[in-house]
Structure 1
Amino acid sequence: MTSPALVLDFGGPVLLTPFELVADEPGTPAYGLLHQRGPLATAEHPDPVWEDLQAGLITERAYWAARAEQWHESGGHDPDIRAMIAHLYDPPRPELVREQARTLVRDAHAAGLRVGILTNDLRAFHSDAWIDKIEIVGDVDVVVDGSVEGHLKPAPRLYELLAERLGVGYEDMVFLDDQTTNIRGAEALGITSVWFDVTDPDRSYAEVRKLLGLPSEVPGG
């Protein structure tokens, strides 16, 4: 029997989202556009474009392209996604990565499990120099990046490439992603999937640990 493999989306399950990062930038154009938006939107401050993304009506690229254009119009710099992302994520620093993700990767490897990152936009959004300084990217066994491969989740080919490179079947993967469209794409192939709730990361990680047969993380451990 093949051991299960842990598969992580990068932005959200591993890397803090832009919606969380702008909490430290009140009064800026990025704060005005992203604070309490996306998965952190509320009934009082809804984000209908994010809801369209979750329903599969638009792509994640389209969502961020629209936000980048709005950022530019409200006083940001160049109207492209990469410029806005660089504003939020440069310089690369350890606190951008969720500590629970580091612990999960470490515990999965200690249990003899293979670990992969399956992302759509790692190199579309970040420079090679930035990626090289985010250590967790080098800690996993396989990285499949849709912006390199020419296929984006939820396209079946991207999941197929991951399975080939990890050397496991779809039935042996446990996949964590914060986009419901990507979850639906994975589940259609028979991949056990967990939706990552940005508002309650611990619960999402705990569900993945249970599916992988890993012990629960000890708070503060």
Structure 2
Amino acid sequence: MRRALLLDLGGTVFRSGSEMMGIYGELEPAVRSVVARRGPLGPEPDELWDAMLREEITEREYWARRSDEIGAALGRDWTIQEFMHTLYTLPGEPMMRPEAAALISDAQAAGVRIGALTNDLKAFHGDGSMSQDPFIGQLDVLVDGSVTGILKPDPRAYEMALEQLDRPPSEIVFVDDMPWNVAGAAKAGMIALQLDLARPELVFDAVREHLELDREAA
């Protein structure tokens, strides 16, 4: 039985909101002072991000507050979906990480089942931008916590993905950019890897090793 691949979406397969905010700041002068605070990627300390890492606020609360701040800088009263749509439709900026695209293509060619376990696809993106990316339609499994009502790191979220992937947890390679989600996958018995937002390419090399893709290509 071949190992399967289970991926977070935003920040893992697709570029993180922190990256997209940096690009937005280059295009829109009104938001530059706000997006200088963007987690580990900004030139200024991000107290909200640090509070999220301490689990004083949730990831959804973090992004809601960043949305409000950027909206205020623009003089706009917008929804979180409008904010995310703006970030993920910047001209000339691909959403998907090239390393993720290459890995997914090679994994699919090797017959690896691929699933996504995300908390916020519908909540943040509705029926537009990321939700309409062709990759979503190619997935063998999609478990969206904003549809099921069960968010990572709740054990039930991983159980849903495991059931649909039809693999034992020890044969699932899981990747996420949030430490608590990685810890939840490890607790569920998966091979759990954390993507470093500052060096995202590194985790994809590790995934290839676990799936033995490079060995097979050689």
The TM-score, its normalising length taken from structure 2, stands at: 0.88
Cα distance between partner residues in 1 of 2:121 and 2:144: 6
Tell me the amino acid that sits aligned with residue 41 of structure 2.
L
Alignment match, 1:105? 104
Tell me the amino acid that sits aligned with residue 135 of structure 2.
I
Task: Give, in angstroms, the shift of residue 102 of structure 1.
Answer: 1.4
Cα distance between partner residues in 2 of 1:179 and 1:65: 17
Alignment match, 1:38? 39
Q: Does 1:185 align with 2:187?
A: no
Structure 1 residues 91, 141: CA separation in 2 closer, same or farther (over 3 Å shift)? farther
Query: Quick one: percent identity of the two aligned structures?
Result: 37
SS in 2 for 1:185: helix
Task: Give, in angstroms, the shift of residue 152 of structure 1.
Answer: 0.7
Task: Give, in angstroms, the shift of residue 93 of structure 1.
Answer: 7.6
Q: Which moved more, 1:161-170 or 1:81-90?
A: 81-90
Tell me the amino acid that sits aligned with residue 137 of structure 2.
G
SS in 1 for 2:174: strand
Cα distance between partner residues in 2 of 1:173 and 1:76: 45
Structure 1 residues 24, 132: CA separation in 2 closer, same or farther (over 3 Å shift)? closer
Structure 1 residues 29, 158: CA separation in 2 closer, same or farther (over 3 Å shift)? farther
SS in 2 for 1:128: coil
The runs of 5 or more residues in structure 1 that have no matched partner are none
Cα distance between partner residues in 1 of 2:116 and 2:93: 18
Tell me the amino acid that sits aligned with residue 39 of structure 2.
G
Cα distance between partner residues in 1 of 2:38 and 2:197: 12
Task: Give me the CA root mean square deviation.
Answer: 2.3
Cα distance between partner residues in 2 of 1:187 and 1:201: 20
Alignment match, 1:139? 138
SS in 2 for 1:15: coil
Task: Give, in angstroms, the shift of residue 190 of structure 1.
Answer: 1.4
Q: Does 1:153 align with 2:152?
A: yes
Cα distance between partner residues in 2 of 1:92 and 1:134: 16
Structure 1 residues 169, 191: CA separation in 2 closer, same or farther (over 3 Å shift)? same
The TM-score, its normalising length taken from structure 1, stands at: 0.87
Task: Give, in angstroms, the shift of residue 145 of structure 1.
Answer: 0.5
Task: Give, in angstroms, the shift of residue 180 of structure 1.
Answer: 0.7
The answer to whether the 8 Å contact 2:11/2:177 transfers is yes
Cα distance between partner residues in 2 of 1:131 and 1:112: 24
Alignment match, 1:48? 47
Alignment match, 1:62? 61
The answer to whether the 8 Å contact 1:120/1:145 transfers is yes
Task: Give, in angstroms, the shift of residue 171 of structure 1.
Answer: 1.3
Q: Which moved more, 1:182-191 or 1:89-98?
A: 89-98
Tell me the amino acid that sits aligned with residue 81 of structure 2.
R
Aligned pairs for 1:1-221 within 5 A: 2-25=1-24, 26=26, 27-35=28-36, 37-41=38-42, 45-90=44-89, 95-131=94-130, 133-215=132-214
Deviations 1:36-66 (A, max 9, x none): 5213145xx2212212222333211011111
SS in 2 for 1:136: helix
Structure 1 residues 139, 76: CA separation in 2 closer, same or farther (over 3 Å shift)? farther
